[in-house]
Structure 1
Amino acid sequence: MLQRAGRTGEASLMNNLNKPPYPSPKRSWYMVALLTLAYFISYIDRTVIGLLVGPIQADLGVTDSQMGLLLGLAFGIFYATMGLPLGWLADRTRRVSIVSCAIALWSAATALCGLASNYLHLFLLRMSVGVGEAALSPCTMSMVADSFPKEKRGKAIAVYSMALSLGTATAYYAIGALLAALRGVEVLDWPLVGAIRPWQAVFIIVGVPGLLLALAMLTVREPVRRDLKQGTSSAPWLMFRYLFSNWKTYLTFVLPFCLMTTVAYTHFWMPEMFVRTWGMEAPEFAKTKAIVTLVCAPATVFSAGALSDYLVRRGQDNAPLAIAVAGTFLFVPTGFLIGLMPGTTSAFIVLGMSLVGIATTTATGLTALLMITPPQFRGQISAVYYMAISITGLTLGPSTVGWLSDWFNGGTGIAGFDAFLESVLPGATGAKGLALAFAAVPLIYGSIVLALAPVTLRCFRRELARIREN
């Protein structure tokens, strides 16, 4: 027995000695910095359309329901479904090249939205933005896992995740200032482009800088793939077989994050909701939203990631998911209350609390996912994760708000129900129908996920125990 134990120990030592060292912190953090900047730009390109709802509807003549599809489904169709084949590529080919090409694609598509002359053109270009952005996070998670040991990944992923809130804040502040500067301008005449509307100019200004970042990304050195057992395969059917054999763990795992994206993507409607509910103009809303986001979200994301690393180093491997679930219990009730507040000041205070909850959930989800995912499937399972939360968030979030808003506006026609809606929010069957629709999303979907939270945590702990045993 002692001889066998000695041979096992020697084999373990030799395996550790044969593993390539992690890249230097300088190289790893340079990679994280560029990937974070890419995520930052991607989120600006993704959310800019939310500030342009009014002008686009005025020029293209689309309804709230159609706009809901443009905000969510047009982008989400390929953002969700292309992630899987791109994740498979991330597990097999040079990830830096994939990211560079992806940045160039979504940036060019965003700029070309400024040349769209009808709803169909804009819809197709938003689909192209989704294709490009689908590649970023699966590649990022794979590269981060190969660049940082387990106990240091939380902070790196948290820094990357901070780009969501920083990108949102920058988009709202900068684009709000740009819209304010263009207020009263009917048409711009640009060289090579010709006559365009101010909202079209915004798309072009936002899209072009990403093309430069696509070139800068090529300066990143590809990380060496780590922890792969000899003879292991990353074939998609093997990945799906692994997922199906652990379906309870992964299904319950993804629920809090599907809820988070569903609630977060309803924020595309927020500028228009403030206009209709309280008469707050889009540029003024944008600047205030930017300040609230900067105050509440980035520090929360970083703190949650640092706390996750601290607890994991002390043996609490379930901490990343527990932290994420805790965030849902904050953003669901506060998300419900935003549109029901009596004025803009109280609405922004409650919004700040909701953003803290969303940021907490965002920060540690991927850290938890990597802990239960085999190395050969990291890119693909990260892609499946993003596919699940994106399809859910982008289809249910903006679209549910748009459909409910159209249904509430002018009355539902259901006896007694309209009177109930008016008692909840005076004006709900008129101008404030959008606010009530906005409030309904976290209430409807959140109640289900919160009820299942104990099951989510129990399945995750069970999977961690199984991995430790093996």
Structure 2
Amino acid sequence: MNDAASSPARASAYSYYVVVLLMLAYMLSLMDRVMLGFLIEPVRHELGLSDTQIGLLLGFGFVLFYSILGVPLGAMADRGNRRNLMVGGILVWSLATAGTAFAAGFAGLLLARTLVGAGEATLSPGAVSTIGDRFPRERVGFALSLYSLGGAFGIGVAMAVGGYLVEWTSALSWAVPALGIELSGWRLVFLIVGLAGVPFAVLMLATMREAPRRGERKEHPPLSAVIDHMARHKLAFAGLLLGFGMQVLSTYVPMLWAAAHFQRAFAMSPLQLGLAFTLIFGVATGVGVLIGGAINDMAMRRGISDAPARLVFWGIPLQLPFVWLAFVSGEPSFALWMLGFQILFASLYGGLQGAMVQVLTPSTMHGRMMGIYLFSVTVVGMGVGPLVTGALSQHGFSGNGALGLAMAATMTLALVLAALMLTVARRAMRECADEVARSA
């Protein structure tokens, strides 16, 4: 049985339910992932942390296990029960987020962030593989874009809930004498947000069935075969891993640092930021993801096999002007509008990451290739980006606008490098995608 023969002719209503469930899981993961970025200022002041330390927590603290575990968890997604893998991951990252509330300093925060990363590393390999097996090839891009909406909703909800909870919990406290700390403010926010994932894990376990695999009778190739496939198409995968990775940086830097910038530059309160960022990161990201997914599917139906890479490339010049307008403006309302447009164009790539992995690799390699992809782009986009931004803010610029300048400089360099990489690799990516399509 080949992949084409085992591919579903059409997606069932239950398949869309699974996508919605996975979208909600992604929403929870993004809430737990970015909440620290929204709470930088109270955490930094209470624990006496520098911008460089915050950059490490936002970036490599999370990326450490998230990236290292991506490949073995991708192999588990290719061979084992993906639902159970994701349920276990949800429980780990939710309890780790709740545990952040008890951190007494930098080391405790770092440990909690690494465990959040370890849990979240299970989600995308399992989700992308599951969606690929439940939808026909020409609908996968749209389905993955729906899944990616969880990121938009997660960020938006994180900002809205974070702003409200900071205000609400400021008058509450819970003493923990054994640890010598008092849970209030940002600590209670982490506790509440983290524990919300536990009942959701139970829901997924009870209602989500494991998807039948395409090409189930095929032997799953070893990791060495995945590496050989990448080596035969090295330029195509350089474009995927490095070109897309630099683009990812342009969304993670504002996602994790923008709240601190607007608090420092304009003295905006958490509640004000929560309302504004809900629209920017929720609505703008959601619109961008849906537009990108719809255009990608139309292009794929017309036989443009490298459509995801083309869309990512053309999103770069569209967002570059707004990067600087958003972070060097001295007027907060204008800056927020410009940030919204930058996020809109940056989000075109949302569901296209998984779509590009799908078109460049045979279905029996999807889980492991997604793990390798996540390793690369999280190290570049979420590891390097926030750390470089924090270091530039602390050592490269000065004044209330230092963080904004650091963000704009980091994002501009990354986007220029992404455009160059995708330009060089474009033909190779198209040839690799065509070869995979012919062999399916």
Q: TM-score range by the shorter chain?
A: over 0.9
2:365 aligned residue (377, 386, 396): 377
Partner of 2:192: 205
For 1:198-226, what per-residue CA distance to the aligned partner results, in whole angstroms no more than 9, with x for missing partners? 11100001001111111111121111111
| Pairwise CA distance, 1:334 | 1.9
* Higher RCO structure, 1 or 2 (CA under 8 Å, sep 6+): 2
Partner of 1:449: 418
**Which entry has the higher C-alpha Rg, 1 or 2?**
1
Q: Say whether residues 1:88 and 2:75 are aligned partners.
A: yes
Partner of 1:342: 330
1:461 aligned residue (405, 430, 434): 430
In 2, Cα distance between equivalents of 1:237 and 1:433: 46
| Pairwise CA distance, 1:20 | 7.4
Partner of 1:160: 147
| Pairwise CA distance, 1:131 | 0.2
Q: TM-score, normalised by structure 2?
A: 0.93
Partner of 2:296: 308
Partner of 1:195: 182
1:318 aligned residue (306, 310, 313): 306
Q: TM-score, normalised by structure 1?
A: 0.87
For 1:66-94, what per-residue CA distance to the aligned partner results, in whole angstroms no more than 9, with x for missing partners? 11101111111111111110001111111
Which residue identity does 1:157 align to in structure 2? Answer: L
SS in structure 2 at match of 1:91: helix
SS in structure 2 at match of 1:195: strand
In 2, Cα distance between equivalents of 1:311 and 1:23: 19
Structure 1 residues 99, 117: closer, same or farther in 2, change over 3 A?
same
For 1:338-358, what per-residue CA distance to the aligned partner results, in whole angstroms no more than 9, with x for missing partners? 211121111111101111112
In 2, Cα distance between equivalents of 1:296 and 1:236: 38
1:395 aligned residue (383, 407, 410): 383
In 1, Cα distance between equivalents of 2:191 and 2:55: 22
In 1, Cα distance between equivalents of 2:409 and 2:231: 33
1:400-419 paired onto structure 2 within 5 Å: 400-409=388-397
Partner of 2:407: 438
In 1, Cα distance between equivalents of 2:45 and 2:282: 31
Partner of 1:146: 133
Contact 1:22/1:146 (8 A) holds in 2? no
In 1, Cα distance between equivalents of 2:286 and 2:348: 10
In 1, Cα distance between equivalents of 2:227 and 2:45: 45
List gaps (5 residues or longer) in structure 1: 1-13, 410-428
Contact 1:327/1:356 (8 A) holds in 2? no
Contact 1:330/1:353 (8 A) holds in 2? no
Which residue identity does 1:372 align to in structure 2? Answer: L
For 1:287-338, what per-residue CA distance to the aligned partner results, in whole angstroms no more than 9, with x for missing partners? 1111223332212211221222122222222222211222222233322332
Partner of 1:280: 268
SS in structure 1 at match of 2:351: helix
CA RMSD of aligned residues (A): 2.3
Partner of 1:242: 229
| Pairwise CA distance, 1:17 | 10
Structure 1 residues 445, 25: closer, same or farther in 2, change over 3 A?
same
Structure 1 residues 226, 191: closer, same or farther in 2, change over 3 A?
farther
| Pairwise CA distance, 1:388 | 0.7
Partner of 1:79: 66
In 1, Cα distance between equivalents of 2:423 and 2:302: 23
Which residue identity does 1:388 align to in structure 2? Answer: S
Contact 1:86/1:135 (8 A) holds in 2? yes
Partner of 1:233: 220
| Pairwise CA distance, 1:137 | 0.3
Which residue identity does 2:51 align to in structure 1? Answer: D
Which residue identity does 2:102 align to in structure 1? Answer: L
List gaps (5 residues or longer) in structure 2: none
In 2, Cα distance between equivalents of 1:466 and 1:18: 18
Contact 1:243/1:250 (8 A) holds in 2? yes
